[in-house]
Amino acid sequence: MRRVFLHRYWPMKILYASLLLLASGAGAAAADAANDYPTEARADYVFVCMKANGETRDALKRCSCSIDVIASLLPYERYVEAETVASMSQAQGQIGSLFRASELAKATAADLRRAQAEAEIRCF
């Protein structure tokens, strides 16, 4: 009798275990999406931020917080695009003017500025 009882609830146990595996996989995928910035990019951001805000332990904490906020708001590819636009728009001549005048470039740069402003509010 006991064997029949366990056998009858076996599909429920499989379903429960499957749901747990799916939930943990979805959580890992969400964590991967939030952490898609390479370590080198994060370190570079923190290094530049600390140069601008003082090379103190407090600046390290705030700058690390800042890149974490930016990473939570912008996918890494979008961040790279925005950094490129920001860099190229400072160039002199025709190339710089193309990046300053393009609507797509303006929108990309605006996304980065919004993320940086949010990071400023949360971290500094």
Give the C-alpha separation, 62 to 123, whole Å. Answer: 5
What is the predicted pLDDT for the residue at 11? Answer: 43
The neighbour count for residue 38, using CB atoms within 10 Å, is 10
Averaged pLDDT for residues 3-25: 42
Q: How far apart are the first and last CA of the chain?
A: 66
Give the C-alpha separation, 20 to 15, whole Å. Answer: 9
Mean pLDDT across the chain: 81
Flag the least confident range among 13-17, 37-41, 77-81, 91-95.
13-17
Question: Is residue 90 within 8 Å of 96, Cβ to Cβ?
Answer: yes
Q: Helix, strand, coil: what percent of the chain each, to 5?
A: 90, 0, 10
What is the predicted pLDDT for the residue at 124? Answer: 95
Query: Does the pLDDT at position 104 exceed 50?
Result: yes
What is the predicted pLDDT for the residue at 22? Answer: 41
